[in-house]
Amino acid sequence: MSVEFISLINVWESSELHPRPGGAPDPAYIRKYARYLEYGGFDYTLVAYGSGGYDPFTVSATIAAHTERIKPIVALRPNIMYPTVAAQSLATLDHLSGGRAVVHIISGGSDQEQARQGDYVGKDDRYARSEEYVRLMRRAWTETTPWDHDGRFYKFENFVAGYRPVNGTIPVSIGGSSAEAYRVGGALGDIFGLWGEPLADTRQQMDRVAEQARRAGRTDVPRTWVTFRPIIAETDELAWEKARRTVGIVEQTHQSGAFAARRMAGPGGPQNVGSQRVLEIAARGDVHDRALWMRTAAVTGAMGASTALVGSYETVAAALLDYVDLGADLISIRGYDNLNDAIDYGRYLIPLVRQELAHREATGQRGTVVAQPPLEQVPAVVGSNA
């Protein structure tokens, strides 16, 4: 049993606790952030996308240029780039990074957000477009002679890419919580992304994806990616005090309009099923299972990853292991004070989870999650001037 860790990178110094809207990508900050993630034991970092945001391909190339191991996950919406162009851009990034490129397909959960860039394909059709898109990218990475395509969303003639990805293909992640998301992701995804829900609800979604994989004729299933926003401290009591302070500031940030995710929802609340599911779970109660806290989702409208895990280092590490035991292969953890939280996760959470999994592999028995002493300082090699 193993698990890989994902974070999300910020491109300038801003967060939901300390918002600085309107910033521009800062190369020194990106370099520092990426190196902290790599040193802290993260395996991937998601490079997000929004209509008013930065270009994830350029940021991913910057990350790759200043790291050796961490894999940038390019968030890609099919409406912004033709699939043959995306295949070439990803293959280029893959070569420049030594085979580290990953892509996360965002089908689009908001009509208003899609329309900001001229996309008027209806929500019911966007997963069908993603399906055609992924199939075309995969074919572009494998075909060696010119080929044509005449499909529902895309048409071209006599295309052939000049080179293949380093390992022959590039991992494709697909996420969502609708029936169409399960169908397309189950059939085509190397990875399927879920937001943090209670264990029983997560198990239900994993089963639905597996069923769609089986129906598509697969003998395997996509690896499961689950996302949380941990709030941690030395003890459970201190963590809950921190959580209450955090949610008050986060609520003010979102209500003020200083955070873009809230504006993406449009009038009437979220259209996407994932956000609707999370808000319904939040209405059932604030706390679920060992440490899952839904209040953060309620105050942000569940726009994007928004569910927290609250507790001591040991409590939250144990909660993450609950999802690993459920079958999660990749755990995404990002905080509200983004860079500082990522550093703490690398100091306290990731080592605990990996230590316990190593113990199980060595002994065949479950151990006791025990906190490690904090590092006195992060080595200068990851600093902004390195």
Measure the CA–CA gap between 286 and 294, rounded to whole angstroms.
5
Mean pLDDT, the chain, as a whole number?
A: 90
What is the per-residue pLDDT across 25-57, written as a single tens digit (0 to 9) for each?
Answer: 999 999 999 999 999 999 999 998 776 778 999
What is the per-residue pLDDT across 276-326, written as a single tens digit (0 to 9) for each?
Answer: 899 999 999 999 999 999 999 999 888 888 999 999 999 999 999 999 999
Measure the CA–CA gap between 367 and 356, rounded to whole angstroms.
6
Measure the CA–CA gap between 257 and 80, rounded to whole angstroms.
25
Q: Which of 193, 202, 210 is nearest to 277 (CA)?
A: 202
Which structure tokens are listed for 158?
């006599």
Secondary structure class of 76 (helix, strand, coil): strand
Measure the CA–CA gap between 74 and 54, rounded to whole angstroms.
12
Q: How many CA atoms lie within 13 A of 84 on its CB side?
A: 15
Rounded to two decimals, what is the model's pTM?
Answer: 0.92
pLDDT at residue 335 in the model: 95
pLDDT at residue 254 in the model: 86
Residue 377's contacts (CB-CB under 8 Å, 6 or more residues apart) are: none
Measure the CA–CA gap between 349 and 357, rounded to whole angstroms.
13
pLDDT at residue 224 in the model: 98
The residues facing 74 across adjacent strands are: 47, 103
The residues facing 75 across adjacent strands are: 104
Measure the CA–CA gap between 85 and 140, rounded to whole angstroms.
10
* Residue at token pair 């052939």: 160
**Strands, DSSP E only, in the chain?**
4-8, 44-47, 71-76, 102-105, 147-150, 155-159, 172-175, 191-195, 223-228, 231-233, 287-288, 292-293, 308-312, 328-333
CA dihedral 201, 204, 209, 215 (to 10 degrees): -160
* Residue at token pair 């955090």: 246
Which structure tokens are listed for 152?
């529902």
Measure the CA–CA gap between 114 and 260, rounded to whole angstroms.
14
pLDDT at residue 256 in the model: 81
Q: Are 222 and 191 in contact (CB under 8 A)?
A: yes
pLDDT at residue 383 in the model: 44
